[in-house]
Structure 1
Amino acid sequence: MAVNKDEILKIYEQLPETAQQSAYDYLQYLSTKHTQLNWDKIANLAPDEVPLSEEEQRQLNSDSGFLSWEEAMNELDLPTDTKP
């Protein structure tokens, strides 16, 4: 399906400024999703210029550690594929 680039730009320009960054990030993701990246290549990528939000910084500095999807779902008492 061919998409008119002008239509994409028009939609982008209608977004509130706070959503434009997310749209841009998602388009970047889509443009690289088909590229085979390995962890070595990822480690060598230049960092983006968007600073971490306060919440991201808090999570990064947290000592709570990693919580798997299943652990989080169980903690919230929500169904998972692995929970009968």
Structure 2
Amino acid sequence: MEVGKKALHDMIEQLSEADRKSAYDFLSYLLERPKRERIIWEQIEEDEEPLTEEERQQLQGDEGYVTGSEAKREFGLQVDLP
């Protein structure tokens, strides 16, 4: 859904002064977010430590993957509703 600039301007005009400050802060955050995400990924160092035998076995195991719902049910964290 595309939102036009006029719609945004109209919404901002309806805000109280305090809420305009909040809107400004949030818009500033949205504009800076891509820069922050790029910086974070650039700071992550590649893990050069080889896998342990246990990690290799886990990756090659036949157990498969468990969904979040299955794990919650298994540990009693989710109740199945009828």
TM-score, length-normalised on structure 2?
0.42
The structure whose residues are more often helix, as a share, is 2
- Pick the structure with greater CA Rg: 2
